């Protein structure tokens, strides 16, 4: 093989960009759109026996939109009703992320006082959920790393280094964050 023989070979095809994974789309787009549009409905759904059907329907829609299989089942997604500084919060634990930026889990925090009377229809329209992700990241040393982020309808705030990817550590970080810590 001569020095310039590499110029004669056929170029390799560039890999086709398949877009974001179903894992990413589920956590960062599909669930977020529903949670931000209907925060009280999300709380009701996750407290109901229909939560598994809801997760399955959202995942199937994502798979259809992405045009490829998710690599996991809806049953692999776990839902944990929690409290963050006395507000209702739903932590959705995702299957193990494979790529950077995929979520270990998401949290839907709805800042309402459940000890008071239910909000009126007018008040319900004013309720805005907070949507957090705990994302897989990378480090130069190769050590596992997470990033804590918050998503709005049209914004993304990166809060930097996140906690270990456990439900308890995620909730503790949210408690600290939302209390100004």
Global pTM value: 0.87
pLDDT tens for the chain, 181 residues long, are 554 554 455 544 444 567 899 999 999 999 999 999 999 999 999 989 999 999 999 999 999 999 999 999 999 999 999 999 999 999 999 999 999 999 999 999 999 998 888 888 898 889 999 999 999 998 888 888 999 999 998 899 999 999 999 999 999 999 998 765 4
3-state secondary structure the chain: CCCCHHHCCCCCCCCCCCCCCHHHHHHHHHHHHHHHHCHHHHHHHHCCCCHHHHHHHHHHHHHHHHCCCCCCCHHHCEEEEEEECCEEEEEEECCCCCCCCCEEEEEEECCCCCCCCCCCHHHHHHCCCEEEEEEEECCCCCCCEEEEEEECCCCEEEEEECCCCCHHHHHHHHHHHHCCC
Q: Where are the domains of the chain?
A: 20-178
């Amino acid at each position: 093989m001569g020095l310039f023989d590499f110029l004669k070979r056929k170029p390799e095809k560039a890999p086709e960009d398949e877009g974001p994974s179903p894992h990413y789309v589920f956590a960062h787009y599909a669930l977020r759109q529903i949670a931000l549009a209907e925060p009280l409905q999300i709380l009701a759904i996750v407290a109901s026996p229909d939560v598994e059907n809801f997760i399955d329907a959202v995942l199937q829609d994502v798979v259809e939109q992405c045009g490829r299989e998710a690599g996991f089942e809806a049953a692999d997604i776990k839902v944990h009703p929690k409290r963050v500084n006395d507000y209702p919060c739903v932590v959705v634990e995702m299957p193990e992320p494979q790529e950077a930026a995929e979520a270990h889990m998401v949290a839907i925090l709805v800042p309402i006082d459940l000890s008071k009377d239910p909000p009126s229809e007018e008040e319900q329209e004013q309720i805005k959920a907070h949507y957090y992700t705990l994302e897989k990241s990378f480090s130069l040393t190769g050590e596992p790393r997470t990033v804590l982020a918050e998503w709005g309808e049209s914004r993304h705030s990166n809060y930097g280094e996140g906690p270990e990817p456990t439900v308890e550590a995620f909730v503790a970080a949210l408690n600290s964050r939302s209390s100004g810590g």
